[in-house]
């Protein structure tokens, strides 16, 4: 198997961000600085003061193409030779997050997060015919408590403990060239819910300086049981470290490195044929990824702030055959009062 070379554009984005952040920052109080909130791809980045509200929207999209097994490239012919009847060609995964954060008391904040998901995959048959599978709808509702552990003028530390409620659909269906017009259950990654009550612990630390700030977040999605369809999605571990620099009173730039581990699916849904494609195979799910992100924050008077990040993979080791990640972006808006 051939190993895919590293894409040069994430490194170019990194260089551009560093160049932008070389400008002189102006003195501001912490709450008024554009780096007062984390890069927009980071969720649950901070608690709120007692009685304060923040409403926010985040849009995240990831495109993928090309197949990896471990860190090596594979072809459609390799997929068919492994016994699968169809091979994935490309994918788009998009999420729209609506968030409401409330300062419950001096040390605790409550966060409500509702996602709307749009997933698409293009598939190919051995005869070269292509078709698309899609799923769209509400995902799993998250309820999270944020607990202040330390809050000083130059640093903050808070823990989080959330639960994910299985409010999304786990019966998304579609037709394929071989289904004879009959709607078949879509593969695991196109379902909109885990089908289980999941725990989401995490911790976030931010250290600020005169014109820069450093942040770190560790978070995990822990799944304890199988759902009613006899399978259990793999646990997910997320690590992010970032540096932000203010270069005027309204704008800051950030550079972030993110790591994601996702486990294989345990068990099997009997309505999903594992030989149809690697997407349908519980053993061809998850893996490890390291992604670099470059971002911009913009803050306005009146409580409004905006953010944008663009990212690309530095390293991927996937439980394949599986579509590798290509370009990703995240954008969003906050309003605090």
Task: Report the first-to-last Cα separation within the chain, whole angstroms.
Answer: 55
- Angle of CA points 172, 286, 125, to nearest 5°: 60
Instruction: Provide the residue ranges of all domains of the chain, joining segments of one domain with +.
Output: 2-336
**pLDDT the model gives residue 44:** 78
Q: How far is the C-alpha of 39 from the C-alpha of 23, rounded, in Å?
A: 19
Q: What is the pLDDT of residues 312-335, one digit of tens each?
A: 999 999 998 999 999 999 999 999
Mean pLDDT in the chain? 90
Q: Residue 94: beta bridge partners?
A: 61, 118
Please say if the pLDDT value at position 67 is more than 50.
yes
Least confident of 24-33, 140-149, 267-276, 304-313: 24-33
Contact 68, 321 (CB under 8 A): yes
For the segment(s) 2-336, the CATH number from 2.40.128.130, 3.40.50.720, 3.90.1150.10, 3.20.20.70 is: 2.40.128.130
pLDDT of residue 330: 97
Weakest mean pLDDT among 6-15, 39-48, 108-117, 242-251: 6-15
Q: pTM score, two decimals?
A: 0.88
Mean pLDDT of 18-40: 65
CA separation for the pair 56, 63 (Å, rounded): 24
- Cβ proximity of 77 and 44 under 8 Å: no
User: pLDDT (tens digit, 9 = 90+) per residue, 212-268?
Assistant: 999 999 999 999 999 999 999 999 999 999 999 998 999 999 999 999 999 999 999
Per-residue tokens: 146: 């944020």
Rounded CA separation 89/74 (Å): 12
pLDDT score of 18 more than 50: no
Q: What is the mean pLDDT of residues 42-52?
A: 78
């Amino acid at each position: 198997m051939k190993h895919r070379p590293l894409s040069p554009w994430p490194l170019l984005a990194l260089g551009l961000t560093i160049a932008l952040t070389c400008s002189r920052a102006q003195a501001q109080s912490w709450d008024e600085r554009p780096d007062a909130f984390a890069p927009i791809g980071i969720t649950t980045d901070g608690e709120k003061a007692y009685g304060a509200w923040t409403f926010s929207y985040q849009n995240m999209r990831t495109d993928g193409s090309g197949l990896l097994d471990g860190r090596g490239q594979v072809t459609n012919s390799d997929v068919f030779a492994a016994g699968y009847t169809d091979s994935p060609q490309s994918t788009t995964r998009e999420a729209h997050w609506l968030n409401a954060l409330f300062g419950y008391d001096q040390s605790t904040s409550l966060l409500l997060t509702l996602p709307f998901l749009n997933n698409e995959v293009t598939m190919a048959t051995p005869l070269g015919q292509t078709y698309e599978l899609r799923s769209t709808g509400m995902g799993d509702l998250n309820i999270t408590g944020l607990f202040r552990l330390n809050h000083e003028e130059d640093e903050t530390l808070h823990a989080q403990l959330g639960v994910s409620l299985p409010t999304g659909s786990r019966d998304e269906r579609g037709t394929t060239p071989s289904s004879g017009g009959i709607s078949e259950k879509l593969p695991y990654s196109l379902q909109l819910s885990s089908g289980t009550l999941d725990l989401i612990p995490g911790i976030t630390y931010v250290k600020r300086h005169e014109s820069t700030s450093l942040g770190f977040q560790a978070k995990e999605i822990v799944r304890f049981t199988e759902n009613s369809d006899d399978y259990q999605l793999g646990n997910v571990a997320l690590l992010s470290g970032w540096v932000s620099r203010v270069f005027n009173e309204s704008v800051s730039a950030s550079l972030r490195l993110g790591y994601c581990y996702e486990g294989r699916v345990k068990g099997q849904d009997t309505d999903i044929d594992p030989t149809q494609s690697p997407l349908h195979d519980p053993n061809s799910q998850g893996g490890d990824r390291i992604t670099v992100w470059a971002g911009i924050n913009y803050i306005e008077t009146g409580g409004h702030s905006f953010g944008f990040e663009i990212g690309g993979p530095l390293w991927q080791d996937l439980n394949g055959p599986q579509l590798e990640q290509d370009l990703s972006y995240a954008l969003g808006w906050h309003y605090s009062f």
